[in-house]
Amino acid sequence: MHELSIAQSLIELVSDHAAREGALRVRAVHLRLGELSGFRRALYFCFDAVSRGTSCEGAELAIEDVPLTVHCARCDAVKTPRARYNFRCPTCGMPTPKVVTGREMQITAIELDFGEPRPTEAPEAGAGEVLPSRVDCPVDCPAD
């Protein structure tokens, strides 16, 4: 299934970043998924299967959903179509092929686990514990 390929790409990219940062494992992956990406439901199933044995195994997924919006040339405005694949302006009916938002399939951020906590660090998460989203990074991250 192509969702497996997409999950594989995701895990490869995230694992590469984690390895570059010297992290032992990935605690959470933050994604931005547009309504048209069609990936949301399959993701949970594929991510588990494909992440097994990688530094992403067990990572939490945090998804930011992006709704579909299109630009209507006649109204000169950004609109929300009435249905997912009916590319017409809900106001004037003009065809609206120009998608403004909704096609996103992006990794926005990752939370990393560097293993041994230093004395000044917050306690390491136990298995299954969900960490707050703002985690002080114990090493100097390159500014992105």
Partner 1 sequence: MLRIEQDILSKNDAYAAGNRARLADRGILALNLVSSPGAGKTTLLTATVIRLRGRTPVAVIEGDQETANDAERIRETGAPAVQINTGRGCHLDAHMVGHALDQLDLTAGGVLFIENVGNLVCPAAFDLGERHKVAILSVTEGEDKPIKYPDMFAASGLMVLNKVDLLPYVDFDVDACVEYARRVNPDIEVLRLSARTGEGMDAWIAWIAAAQGG
- Residues of this chain that bind partner 1 (CB under 8 A): 1-2, 5-6, 9-10, 12-13, 17, 21, 30-31, 36, 38-39, 84-88, 95-97, 105-112, 133-135, 137, 141, 144
C-alpha 27: how far from its chain's center?
13
What do you get for the CA distance between the two ends of the chain, in Å? Answer: 33
CB of 34 to partner 1, least distance (A): 11
CB of 60 to partner 1, least distance (A): 12
Query: Measured from the CB atom, is 127 or 141 closer to partner 1?
Result: 141
What is the rounded distance in angstroms from the CA atom of residue 59 to the CA atom of residue 26?
Answer: 6
Alpha-carbon distance values, 124 to 9, 37, 62, 84, 112 (Å): 28, 35, 20, 43, 12
- Specify the residue, 39 or 66, whose C-beta has the smaller distance to partner 1: 39
Q: Which is nearer to partner 1, 25 or 30 (CB)?
A: 30
What is the closest distance, in whole angstroms, from the C-beta atom of residue 127 to partner 1 in the complex? 21
Judged by beta carbon, residue 5 or residue 91, the one nearer partner 1 is 5
Question: What gap in Å lies between CA 144 and CA 136, rounded to an integer?
Answer: 15
| Closest approach of partner 1 to the CB of residue 95, in Å | 3
